[in-house]
Structure 1
Amino acid sequence: MRSARVYDEVSDDDGTRVLVDRVWPRGMRKEDPRVGHWLKDVAPSTELRKWYGHEEEKKAEFAKRYRAELKEEPAASALADLRDLAEEGPVTLVTATKDLKLSQVPVLLQMVGK
């Protein structure tokens, strides 16, 4: 499993691209191939996302709170769907976040275990 920005061009080795943001990325059409599947329920809640603000000093606490959210519905079902996709073949998690290291993607990669 890998990660990329949703604005990056599709690569031959991307496999299934999965948008893991709660909000649709600016300037993207629904049929844009860079998006792939949209699993918005696996994304952090709006409240958590706004609190975090991608601030480096909040990263550890964000990860802890986000893991807790992923254990509750509907996020737990969306995470199970993501795991199922990963079992079927290569998956690339995509996000509109500018800095992938400060996004939810590292937590998801850890939770999926691929």
Structure 2
Amino acid sequence: MTDIDSFEDGVQPDSQTPAIVLADPSEGIRAEVHREYAGKLALAELRIQAAKDEIDLPEGFTDYLDVSRLTDDDGQPIEDVITEILKPFQKKMKFAELQGAGYHRNPAPVFQPRPSLDARHR
């Protein structure tokens, strides 16, 4: 009788015999899928952040990125790295010209005389 037969019969092998542990193939498959989609997830996060910041990325920009640098050891996107990548593309804030706003030394406005209401309706 082999060790496998003794397990099937409900008999425990002695402590000298190593127990047979069957490997769970789903863990390997999960790890492979996680590695495959970690880069796609990081690129999606990059595009989402660019859309939030109203940044138009150049055509083919993401093709040249090393997506392994966008993810941590667990395969999760790193927000700080994504922010640093998008920093050169952010638009500079332009403020409106404030012409005429504030206190001026010569506050006397130039008025043009307007005809009276009576003169307008005649």
- The TM-score normalised by the length of structure 2 is 0.20
Instruction: Pick the structure with more strand per residue.
Output: 1
- The TM-score normalised by the length of structure 1 is 0.20
